Amino acid sequence: MKEQIGTNEGGLIARILAGEKELFHELIRPYERMVYLTLFSIIKNETDAEDGAQEAIINAYRHLTSFRGDAKFSTWLTTIAINEGRKRLRKSKGAAEQSIEEQEEGHEGDYTPAPLTDWREIPLAALERKELREALRIAVAELPDIYRQVFTLRDLEELNIEETAQALGINPGAVKVRLHRARIMLQKRLVPFLKTTAPARKRFFGRAL
């Protein structure tokens, strides 16, 4: 037989459902990072995101029989993670607040990138700097929710437009708009950090220039 059952995802799932339950560890390993980041993009708190990630993965295990091969496993799992995150968010925010799913991207706002001068002089090594990573983490955390979630699924977890749309229950056009705005907002936020890579400034008449 040419088909190697168990070496691909579909085969792995079939074996788990047939009783080799412990193989679920193996199935989930490539996705555990993704599940955590999805939760974190929604609840923005490490401990709660970890609890939620565990819960989502346990849920996926319990409901594996309902997984249909017509969607990708990663998309199915992401949907479970998003639902878990939203449930937790609703609980923590209380019923008084507006529904988080009702947010939509408006047309207001300035989504133009920040121009850079002397860009060519910036060494690639600048990307290795810790404070740049830190600045990016903060900037992503501060994006409005609907933008952060699309950005996380697309650029962090590398789902495609279609999968992102499916997981979030929005249309692909909205994914593109939100992604564009998220990227531009981040570019704008990070330009000052990308610019401050020049070597130590010389002092002039005792004053820093």
Partner 1 sequence: MKLDCKHVWEHISEYIDNTVDAKLREEIERHLEHCEICSAILDSTRNILVLTADDRTFELPVGYSERLHERLKEEIEKS
Rounded to whole angstroms, the Cα distance separating 122 from 153 reads 29
Site for partner 1 (CB under 8 A): which residue of 17, 156, 174, 197?
156
Binding window for partner 1 (CB under 8 A); candidates: 4-12, 22-30, 67-75, 90-98: 22-30
Q: Indicate the residue among 86 and 183 with the shorter CB distance to partner 1.
A: 183
* Interaction between residue 179 and partner 1 (CB under 8 A): yes
Pick the closer one to partner 1 by CB: 45 or 83.
Answer: 45
Nearest to 106 by CA among 183, 181, 53, 8: 181
Q: CB-based burial of residue 80 (10 Å sphere; 0-12 exposed, 13-18 middle, 19+ buried)?
A: buried
Tell me the two tokens of residue 8.
């691909």
Stretch that binds partner 1, among 3-11, 29-37, 65-73, 96-104 (CB under 8 A): 29-37
Q: How far is the CB of 206 from partner 1 (least distance, A)?
A: 34
Residue closer to partner 1 (CB basis): 82 or 148: 148
Could you say which of 10, 18, 30, 137 contacts partner 1 (CB under 8 A)? 137
Task: Tell me how crowded residue 11 is: count the other CB atoms within 10 A of its CB.
Answer: 14
- Determine the interface stretch with partner 1 among 1-9, 21-29, 71-79, 92-100 (rule: CB under 8 A): 21-29
> How is the chain classified by DSSP, letter by letter?
----TTTSHHHHHHHHHTT-GGGHHHHHGGGHHHHHHHHHHHH--HHHHHHHHHHHHHHHHHTGGG--TTS-HHHHHHHHHHHHHHHHHHHHH-TTSPPGGG----S-S---PPP-SSGGGS-GGGGG-HHHHHHHHHHHHTS-HHHHHHHIIIIIS---HHHHHHHHTS-HHHHHHHHHHHHHHHHHHHHHHHHTTSPPPPEETTEE-
Nearer Cβ to partner 1, position 90 or 189?
Answer: 189
Among 5, 18, 127, 198, the residue binding partner 1 under the rule CB under 8 A is 127
**Which of 42-50, 70-78, 90-98, 201-209 is the region at the interface with partner 1 (rule: CB under 8 A)?**
42-50
Q: Is 191 in the site for partner 1 (CB under 8 A)?
A: yes
Give residues in contact with partner 1 (CB under 8 A). Answer: 21-22, 24-25, 28, 32-33, 36-37, 40, 46-47, 50, 53-54, 57-58, 61-62, 112-117, 119-120, 127, 132-133, 136-137, 140, 151, 155-156, 158, 161, 176, 179-180, 183-184, 186-187, 190-191, 194
